[in-house]
Amino acid sequence: MRDNLKKANVVLTKDLIDQIDEKKNHHHGSRSQLIRQALAEYFDGNPESDTKLCLKPIRKKLESVGDSIDEIQNELQWFDKKIDAITSREMIRKVSEDIEKLLLEKEEPLSVPDIGEHLPYEQNELLRGVEILEDRFTVVRVEQGKLPKWKIRGN
């Protein structure tokens, strides 16, 4: 692999070394590996060139790699949000099914705090579960006292 590389002395500024180190951490590679790759690409474009090595192509390559990494990270964040949304919907569906089973079992109207005593969910999850059941016309709201209670429709 090294037979196609020319020997070159390169002077890197502190700023460029910091950029290279930042990129190598993203790639889990080494500084020399990134520099070799950039030099190989530079000389592949003009293999007979004995002109002075310019660091602009290396910097551009590192910046483009950084932009690509940022794009990939943005896409991964988008997928994470989608997965979280799907997981949340599945969780709320499970909560609503558990509430429905509890109301069928108890055969009496229950408030959210009453439901919370029997099921291991947070109050906001229980409220969303009850809302889903109301939207599906599975439960009916019964106003008794300060707290609304719900019961299975038809009971």
Q: Could you report the per-residue pLDDT of 17-34, keeping only the tens digit for each?
A: 888 788 777 766 777 777
Taking each helix axis from N to C end, the angle separating 56-106 and 123-135, rounded to the nearest 10 degrees, works out to: 70
DSSP letter, residue 52: P
- pLDDT on residue 36: 77
Q: What is the pLDDT of residues 48-66, one digit of tens each?
A: 444 445 667 777 888 888 8
Average pLDDT over residues 68-93: 87
Q: What is the pLDDT of residues 79-91, one digit of tens each?
A: 888 888 888 888 8
Q: What percent of the chain has pLDDT over 70?
A: 80
Listed ranges 14-18, 41-45, 119-123, 151-155; the one with the highest mean pLDDT? 119-123
Residue whose entry in the numeric block shows the structure tokens 């993203």: 26
CB 41 within 8 A of CB 47: no
List domains and CATH numbers for the chain.
2-79 (no CATH), 82-152 (1.10.10.10)
99 phi and psi, to 5 degrees?
A: -65, -45
